Amino acid sequence: MIRKVITAAAALLLTAGGASAQGNADTAAIARTRSAFEKAAAAQDAAAVAKLFTADGVEMPPNAPAAKGRAAIEAWHKAFAQQFMLHGMTITATETKVLGDTAYDIGTYKQSLMAMKGGGMMEDKGKYVVLLKKDGGNWMITHAIYNSDNPPPGQAAAKK
């Protein structure tokens, strides 16, 4: 009887360890997707950004309608690149949680932007929430929403 209990406990520990190892592998794969987004966005490679999304993915940028589908996401990033030149971007995850074949990634971002008209530099920082889906071993973005901590253009910061 004791031997069966020990065997069952050992099997449970091995299963839990395997799940943890898989969770770590998934978390690392999500970090690679995040890094690929950061690099593609910093290079202003709209096609590369769009390829990180599922075919029906949705990006919800600040001060703009949601872009639904890869073509719309690519078009939004191309239009953004016509308005601003990106001079560096950093994405920092604060929480990543894997739930089977889905996951979420939450964090902050910083970016330096130069307006194409007028050349003024702007430092932007904010937060994001990204939902992901495992597809054939790759983690693809299904939904991404982010917004700036800065006030909207033309508005002064709110007084506390």
Q: How confident is residue 134, by pLDDT bands cut at 50, 70 and 90?
A: very high
Record the tokens describing residue 60, joined without a space. Answer: 């919800």
Per-residue pLDDT, 51: 98
Mean pLDDT in the chain?
85
Mean pLDDT confidence for 65-76: 98
Strand-strand pairing, 53-60 and 138-148: parallel
Is position 17 within any domain?
Answer: yes
Maximum C-alpha span of the chain: 79
Per-residue pLDDT, 9: 36
Is position 89 within any domain?
Answer: yes
Mean pLDDT confidence for 37-49: 96
Is position 62 within any domain?
Answer: yes
CATH number of the domain bearing residue 119? 3.10.450.50
**Secondary structure of 85-140 in HEC code, one letter for each residue:** EEEEEEEEEEEEEEECCEEEEEEEEEEEEEECCCCCEEEEEEEEEEEEEEECCEEE
> Which has the minimum average pLDDT: 15-29, 37-51, 52-66, 88-102?
15-29
Q: What is the pTM of this model?
A: 0.80
Under 8 Å CB-to-CB from 8, ≥6 apart: which residues? none
Mean pLDDT confidence for 28-49: 96
Per-residue pLDDT, 44: 95
Is position 33 within any domain?
Answer: yes
Per-residue pLDDT, 155: 66
Query: With the CA atoms of 31, 35, 36 and 42 taken in that order, what torsion angle do they form, in degrees rounded to the nearest 10?
Result: 160
Under 8 Å CB-to-CB from 32, ≥6 apart: which residues? 139
Mean pLDDT confidence for 83-106: 95
Per-residue pLDDT, 12: 33
Counting the structural domains of the chain, the total is: 1
Is position 24 within any domain?
Answer: yes
Record the tokens describing residue 68, joined without a space. Answer: 């639904």
Per-residue pLDDT, 56: 98
